[in-house]
Amino acid sequence: MMENVGGTTYFYPTSAENSVTTNDTLSSVNSSVGSSYQVYPGTPSHVTALKSKTGSSSFFIAEDTRMDILNRNALTLLQPDPGQFPDLPQDVDNYHELCPLEPIPTNSLQKALIGYQASMYKATHIKTGTRHCLRRIHGFRLQNTKCMTYVDMWKKLIHSNIVQLKEVFTTKAFGDNSMVFVYDFHPGSETLLTKHFASDSMNGYVDPFATDPSAPRPYSHHKNSILRHQQNNKLPEALIWNYIIQLTSALRIIHVAGLACRSLDPTKIIITVGNRLRLSCLGVMDVIINDTSTASNPVGLIQHYQQEDLTSLGKLVLALACKSTMAVQRENISTAVEVVTRTYTTDLRNLIMYLLSPQQRRSVTDLMPMIGARFYTQLDSVQTRTDVLENEVSKEMENGRLFRLLVKLGSINERPEFNMDGTWSETGDRYMLKLFRDYVFHQVTEDGRPWLDMAHVVQCLNKLDTGVPEKVCLMSRDEQSILVVSYAELKHCLEQSYDEVLNASAPTDNVT
């Protein structure tokens, strides 16, 4: 029974059907069929079984996933230090907030590969606010727009092992004629070169055991140094196959689309957490080396580049298996293959041999039998990762809702003044919400100790959010009156009060 006197509801013995949670019985038992509000029910057993992969099975996000995401978010939000890069333009086409992603090259040595100096920036799209990766080719004038056909083809290519090309434009914003290739930004990526060949020098062609790399050395020296290097750093074969599957997956759709990668080398393949590989820099060669548009037989030329992609893949796998880019030097290849034969399966050797046999016409399809059942292993591991991630999502999903609810409550409780009324937050609906706030946060035990229980807070807020019919006893601060209200009524109070604040927050000239 309730009675409303002067806006305050007073409490009389209630009917037995409704469970009433009082300040004294600090926990309530929910015996209904199916809870009417949502909580995370704990880690499911099929995810618990993967303990070694997930770390812990707590109610909060796994620490490694969390640190990884924090790191990626921080990198996404990173702003350049204007003092360090005074020459950076404010805007480049539709992009601003440029932030160099690698040291800007200052000498011409790095021009070797494509004949142009290149640099890379993170930038924010002015309209969408999304971060992108810009690859700038310095001092480049586009002579022939035919190559833009390739750009359009690249832009349509969406694949989980490819960094998608978004657009290409020319700009004078850097003070020269630059060509800019815009890609997805994958924060926290590193190249395969830095990940696995860090001990080699950057160009990958220096023998760390020789003082004079041009001096003639006996065959056994090569072999021993490659072998010693590989044995100290050997990559697990499963990881190499994981890479092969991802790289062939990307190559396959590139070749099917009538394109060629043309830059399949460890400096252009990026790796993010979970060993995801992505081919980057796609389309640059098609624009910069403008031979495809002038060739008499462009299809034949693309097929030639596709064959070169497969050769590059073979070299890359050989380098990974020997853990050294030195292995792909012409004079080392036979030694390197010997090393692979000794330490890895015949399948891996055969795959490398096939890819490094340019006299035959090769294709990704022919590689599939060599990969064989490893496709299944790969699928299982990726599917397992989705199971783990789904569990992470369900852990954190409800927190956003509860947070927003507390923000609403906070905007009402103790508001000093509303529409010139200094007592607004202490009267009517707001009074109920004030007492409810006390009920949620300020309960004390019988002997007067503060009673802190996160489960109580979460449960009360969930019931409020759902507006369950269950009733709750709210005591006035002077302990002279007790209000009995249902969560449904409290929900109504909250919505009403928040709407009042929200409506009043609109500029007066917009109120009609």
Binding-site residue positions: 135, 184-191, 267-268
What is the rounded distance in angstroms from the CA atom of residue 504 to the CA atom of residue 418? 9
Please give the Cα distance from 285 to 302 (Å, whole number).
Answer: 12
d(CA 65, CA 54): 8
| Shortest reach from residue 85's CB to a copy of itself, in Å | 11
Identified binder of a copy of itself from the candidate list 3, 18, 26, 49, rule CB under 8 A: 49
Listed ranges 76-84, 288-296, 307-315, 465-473: which one lies at the site for a copy of itself (CB under 8 A):
76-84
For a copy of itself, the binding residues in 468-497 under the rule CB under 8 A are 477
Six token digits for residue 72: 């990626």
Two tokens, residue 460: 């009360």
Q: Residue 471: which residues within 8 A CB-CB, separation 6 or more?
A: 14, 18, 19, 20, 21, 484, 485, 486, 487
The binding site for ATP comprises 135, 184-191, 267-268
Place of tokens 């001096």: 215
Contacts of 497 (CB under 8 A, 6+ apart): 412, 429, 430, 433
By CB under 8 A, residue 209 contacts a copy of itself: no
Q: In this chain, which of 219, 258, 372, 421 binds a copy of itself, going by CB under 8 A?
A: 372
Is the CB of 70 or the CB of 210 nearer to a copy of itself?
A: 70
The interface with a copy of itself within residues 81-120 (CB under 8 A) comprises 81
Q: Should residue 257 be labelled a site residue for a copy of itself when binding is judged by CB under 8 A?
A: no
Q: Does 239 bind a copy of itself (CB under 8 A)?
A: no
Question: Taking CB under 8 A as the rule, does residue 392 contact a copy of itself?
Answer: yes
Q: Give the one residue of 387, 469, 491, 492 binding a copy of itself; rule: CB under 8 A.
A: 387
Task: Tell me the helix, strand and coil percentages in the chain, rounded to 5.
Answer: 45, 15, 40
* Phi, psi torsion values for 276, nearest 5 degrees: -80, 125
Among 167, 358, 410, 423, contact with a copy of itself (rule: CB under 8 A) = 410
Least distance between a copy of itself and beta carbon 123 (Å): 11
Question: Is residue 80 a contact point for a copy of itself (CB under 8 A)?
Answer: yes
Piece of the chain touching a copy of itself by CB under 8 A; list 208-216, 287-295, 312-320, 368-376:
368-376
From the CB of 211, what's the least distance to a copy of itself, in Å? 41
CB 119 within 8 A of CB 130: no
3-state SS assignment for residue 437: helix
Identify which of residues 12 and 376 has a Cβ nearer to a copy of itself in the complex: 376
Q: Which is nearer to a copy of itself, 5 or 373 (CB)?
A: 373
- The nearest distance, CB 281 to a copy of itself, in angstroms, is 15
Q: Is 248 in the site for a copy of itself (CB under 8 A)?
A: yes
Q: Which of 148, 173, 389, 482 binds a copy of itself (CB under 8 A)?
A: 389
Alpha-carbon span 401 to 398, nearest angstrom = 5
- Residue 334 CA: distances (Å) to CA of 219, 329, 353, 356, 361: 11, 10, 10, 11, 21
Q: How do 471-475 and 2-5 pair as beta strands?
A: unpaired
**Residue from the set 231, 365, 423, 427 that interacts with a copy of itself by CB under 8 A:** 365
For the bound state, the minimum distance from the C-beta of residue 158 to a copy of itself, rounded and expressed in Å, comes to: 6
Query: Least CB distance from residue 41 to a copy of itself, whole Å?
Result: 4
| Interacting residues with a copy of itself between 319 and 348 (CB under 8 A) | none
Cβ–Cβ < 8 Å for 157, 164: yes
Evaluate the CA torsion angle 404, 409, 414, 418 in order and state its sign.
positive
Rg (CA), the chain: 32
Residue 258 engages a copy of itself in binding (rule: CB under 8 A)? no
Residues in 259-278 at the binding interface with a copy of itself, rule: CB under 8 A: 274, 276
Listed ranges 129-137, 211-219, 292-300, 465-473: which one lies at the site for a copy of itself (CB under 8 A): 129-137
- Nearer of residues 113 and 238 to a copy of itself, judged by Cβ: 238
Q: What is the spatial distance between Cα 238 and Cα 54, in angstroms, rounded to a whole number?
A: 20
DSSP 227-278: HHHHHHH---HHHHHHHHHHHHHHHHHHHHTT------STTTEEEETTTEEE
Q: Which is nearer to a copy of itself, 48 or 233 (CB)?
A: 48
Near a copy of itself by CB under 8 A: residue from 186, 229, 349, 430: 186
Per CB under 8 A, does 175 bind a copy of itself?
no
- Among the residues of 289-442, which ranges form H helices? 298-322, 333-343, 346-355, 364-371, 374-412, 428-441
Rounded-to-integer distance, Cα 239 and Cα 236, Å:
5
Nearest to 191 by CA among 353, 367, 325, 54: 325
286 to 305: interface string for a copy of itself, x by CB under 8 A: --------------------
Binders of a copy of itself among residues 427 to 466 (CB under 8 A) are: 437-438, 440-442, 444, 447-452, 454, 457
**Stretches 15-23, 88-96, 155-163, 318-326: which one binds a copy of itself (CB under 8 A)?**
155-163
Interface stretch with a copy of itself, choices 3-11, 135-143, 243-251, 335-343 (CB under 8 A): 243-251
